Structure 1
Amino acid sequence: MHCNTLSLAAVALLASSVNAHGHVAKVIAGGQEYTGGIPHGAPSNAVGWAAGNQDNGFVEPASFGSPDIICHKSARPVSNAVTVAAGDVVTLKWDTWPESHHGPVTEYLAPVSGDFASINKGSLRWTKVAEKGYISGSNPGNWASDELIRDGFAWKFTVPRNLKAGNYVLRHEIIGLHSAGQQNGAQAYPQCINLKVTGSGSQALSGGGDFTKFYSASDPGILFNLYGQFSSYQIPGPAVQRI
């Protein structure tokens, strides 16, 4: 009985550790609150893509060249969208995030032609529009993810003021670096949210790319020792496009 009790306790501890990773549960914009993407199946009113990460898990570097890196494991689009004006703030509220999972936070946008539900994610072309990574210190230092935790698991993203009105997918991501000192140790947590951008902006996104080609397992921002001495960090992916 004692052995069984210990085994059950170990399983429970593992499950709680995995489930603690988190996901974007709510999205707030223009004074309205929306349901984000729920890993075990997005409800009918969700604006976040449904994904197959029922354990709140991650995409490993070995899968960075696969479609899973685009919007998470087996992600599929939903028909709903957040309505937000160019220049306004979108607040992405995670249900939780573990303190040990230090790392950068990034935002990408991809324009959508047609309705959201029929998106072919492989055809989306992504432009990085915001990023924040290493802030100060080392071993492990202070990171963008720490700011997210301090703000109640919330992250604020400002839609580019000059962005042309239209339909977009927002790709919001945290990369956990706590195991990134070893091969295939970094953990990517992409979250995709549909946006319907309004306003009088005139600048269209240009030069976007295929996300499956953005990251490599050997990138200096992917294979990175969080527990050593360092004074800089290179955020993975392309440069931010200012709009």
Structure 2
Amino acid sequence: MSRLLFASVFASHVLGHGHVSNIVVNGVSYQGWDVNSFPYMEEVPLVASWGTPNTGGGWPDSGYSDPDIICHIDAVNGEGSIPVAAGDSISLQWTQWPDTHHGPVIDYLANCGSSCQTVDKTTLEFFKISEVGLVDDTTVPGFWATDELIENNSSWLVQIPETVAPGDYVLRHELIALQGAHTEGGAQNYMQCINLQITGSGSAQPEGVLATDLYTSTDSGILVDIFKPLTYTIPGPSLIAGATPVAQATSAITSSGTAIVPGATSA
């Protein structure tokens, strides 16, 4: 493929699927990873989002055991973290999402141990804190979580369970497009990871699953024909105890914030 053609295909993927542009916590907006500019900058701003060279096909050609399924293709650790209290809701603002890409929205957390900035992503064990799938099946292909995201100004609200113990975590936010999922390998997973520093008085430390073990290509929620009447089963493990559905609403931005580096001390 020529460099010019590659650039054209790359740009179409970026414009076609979008990315999380900012993360809002209690009215404070934190910048996300800007795939349109950050990969080409010598000095990238400090952000909590994991870096990736593109937002094109988020589904690895080699299947769900490929490490690219963890936090996106060639994703590298975010250098900052966003402070959030257990019980708070986080608004994830997408630049856009195609209205032809129907499917679930799923959110996971994984404890990073001592540092999300240096953790080996292949060791992260994720537990599910939020899931929305087929919302209304009265029509075909139905009204899905991704359609709800679009109606909510391309934003999604997820709550950090109050029971989760304090610590450093990776939030894995995932949209799955199922328009081609009637054939094996046709589902498209788009995932983005964000470092969080969670505070609070919770004590729960739920068991997680390696991201490479979350799904298989034949799971009923992955291999499915959404253009036929169906009862949809969201893929992945069950929600943890204490996970609470959140009514979707746009989180008003009152100020801008800068990601922190946990453990860093000022000079």
C-alpha displacement at 1:143, in angstroms? 0.4
Q: Give 1:39's aligned residue.
A: 35
Q: Give 1:71's aligned residue.
A: 71
Q: Give 2:145's aligned residue.
A: 144
In structure 1, distance between residues paired with 2:240 and 2:10? 40
- 1:159–1:14: structure 2 CA closer, same or farther, 3 Å change rule? closer
In structure 1, distance between residues paired with 2:237 and 2:189? 16
1:38-72: CA deviations, max 9, x gaps?
Answer: 335463222110013x2533214643111000000
TM-score, with length taken from structure 1: 0.89
1:109-153: CA deviations, max 9, x gaps?
Answer: 000111222110011111111101011124210001011000101
**Contact map agreement 1:19 1:56 (CA 8 A) in 2:** no
Identity of counterpart residues, as a percentage?
A: 38
Q: Give 2:259's aligned residue.
A: none
Pairwise CA RMSD: 2.0
Counterpart residue type for residue 225 of structure 2: N
Length, aligned pairs only: 231
68-77 or 35-44, which moves further after superposition? 35-44
1:184-240: CA deviations, max 9, x gaps?
Answer: 1100001101001111222222x211110111111111111111122x101111111
Q: Give secondary structure in 1 for the equivalent of 2:191.
A: strand
**Contact map agreement 1:72 1:191 (CA 8 A) in 2:** yes
In structure 1, distance between residues paired with 2:79 and 2:10? 34
Q: Give secondary structure in 1 for the equivalent of 2:125.
A: coil
Q: Give 1:106's aligned residue.
A: 106
In structure 1, distance between residues paired with 2:34 and 2:199? 26
In structure 1, distance between residues paired with 2:23 and 2:118? 22
In structure 2, distance between residues paired with 1:195 and 1:159? 10
In structure 1, distance between residues paired with 2:8 and 2:108? 35
Q: Give 1:240's aligned residue.
A: 239
C-alpha displacement at 1:176, in angstroms? 0.2
Q: Give 1:162's aligned residue.
A: 163
C-alpha displacement at 1:15, in angstroms? 4.8
1:48-127 correspondence runs (5 A):
48-52=49-53, 54-60=54-60, 62-127=62-127
Q: Give 1:4's aligned residue.
A: none
In structure 2, distance between residues paired with 1:187 and 1:70? 14
In structure 2, distance between residues paired with 1:29 and 1:153? 16
Q: Give secondary structure in 2 for the equivalent of 1:44.
A: coil
Q: Kindly report structure 1 stretches of 4+ aligned residues shifted beyond 4 Å.
A: 11-15
TM-score, with length taken from structure 2: 0.81
C-alpha displacement at 1:37, in angstroms? 2.2
1:208-227 correspondence runs (5 A):
208-227=208-227
